[in-house]
Structure 1
Amino acid sequence: MKKVLLSAIAAVMFFSCQNEQNEESTNLDASAITHRGCATQEVFEAQLKADPALALKMNQIEAFTQNRILTNRLVNGKIEIPVIVNVLYRTAAQNISDAQIQSQIDVLNKDFNAQNSDYNSVPALFSGVKANVGITFVLEKINRKSTTKTSWGTNNAMKKTAQGGIAPTSPTTKLNMWSCAIGGGILGYAQFPGGSSSTDGVVIDSRYFGLSGSANAPFNLGRTGTHEVGHWMNLRHIWGDANCGSDLVSDTPTHNTANYGVPAYPHYSTCSGTPVEMTMNYMDYTDDNGMYMFSTGQKNRMAAIFASGGPRAAFGI
Structure 2
Amino acid sequence: MANAVSRDLPTTRYCATPDVYTKQLAEQPGFAEARVALDVEALRTVARGIFAARAGVTRIPVVVHVVWHEDDQNISDEQIQSQIAVLNQDFRKTNADIIKLPEVFRSLADDAQVEFALATTDPGGEDTDGITRTHTDTRSFTYDDAIKFASSGGADAWPADKYLNLWVGRLSGGLLGYAQFPGGEPSTDGVVVLDTAVGTVGTASPPFGLGRTATHEIGHWLNLNHIWGDESGCVGTDKVDDTPNQADANVGKPAFPHVSCGNGPNGDLFADYMDYVDDDVMVMFSAGQIARIQACLDGPRNTFELVEDSVLAQRNRERLSGTDTM
Fold-level similarity (TM above 0.5): yes
CA–CA separation in structure 1 for the residues paired with 2:50 and 2:228? 27
- For residue 73 of structure 2, give the secondary structure of its aligned residue in structure 1: coil
Instruction: State the 1:30 CA deviation.
Output: 4.9
Q: Structure 1 residue 121: deviation in Å?
A: 2.1
Q: Deviations over 1:8-65 (max 9, x none)?
A: xxxxxxxxxxxxxxxxxxxxx9512110010011011011110241000000110110
Q: Deviations over 1:262-301 (max 9, x none)?
A: 10111111x1444610010000000000100110000100
- Please tell me whether residue 205 in structure 1 is matched to residue 194 in structure 2: yes
1:20 matched residue in structure 2: none
Q: Which residue of 2 aligns with 1:120?
A: 99
Q: 2:43 aligns with which of 46, 52, 66?
A: 66
For the 8 Å contact 1:93–1:213, the answer to whether it is kept is no
Paired residues for 1:1-317 under 5 Å: 30-74=7-51, 75-140=54-119, 141-243=130-232, 244=234, 245-269=236-260, 271-274=261-264, 276-307=267-298, 310-317=299-306
Query: What amino acid sits opposite 2:25 in the alignment?
Result: L
Of residues 56-65 and 120-129 in structure 1, the stretch that sits farther from structure 2 once superposed is 120-129
Q: Distance in 1 between matches of 2:25 and 2:14?
A: 21
Paired with 1:138 and 1:110, the residues of 2 have a C-alpha distance of 12
Q: Does the 8 Å contact 2:179/2:190 carry over to 1?
A: yes
- Quote the Cα distance in structure 1 between the aligned partners of 2:178 and 2:85: 20
Rg (Cα) greater in structure: 2
- What percentage of residue pairs aligned between the two structures are identical? 43
The 10-residue stretch of structure 1 (115-124 or 149-158) with the greater mean CA deviation from structure 2: 115-124
User: Which stretch has the larger CA shift, 163-172 or 62-71?
Assistant: 163-172
CA distance in 2, matches of 1:132, 1:161: 37
Question: 2-side partners of 1:80 and 1:224: how far apart?
Answer: 20
Length-normalised TM-score, structure 2 = 0.86
Amino acid at match of 1:236: N
Q: Which runs of 5+ in 1 are unaligned?
A: 1-28
Partner Cα separation in structure 2 for residue 170 and residue 194 of structure 1: 14
Deviations 1:213-254 (A, max 9, x none): 111111000000110111111010000000221000000001
Q: Distance in 1 between matches of 2:155 and 2:223?
A: 24
Contact (CA 8 Å) 1:239, 1:284: kept in 2 or not? Answer: yes
CA distance in 1, matches of 2:28, 2:297: 24
CA distance in 2: counterparts of 1:193 and 1:289, whole angstroms: 28
Sort the Cα spacing of 1:30 and 1:99 in 2 relative to 1 into closer, same or farther, 3 A.
closer
Q: Deviations over 1:103-133 (max 9, x none)?
A: 0000000001111111122212111111111
CA contact (8 A) 2:245 2:263 kept: no
How far apart, in 2, do the equivalents of 1:283 and 1:273 lie? 18
Work out the CA distance in 1 between the residues paired with 2:284 and 2:186: 29
8 Å contact kept, 1:306–1:316: no
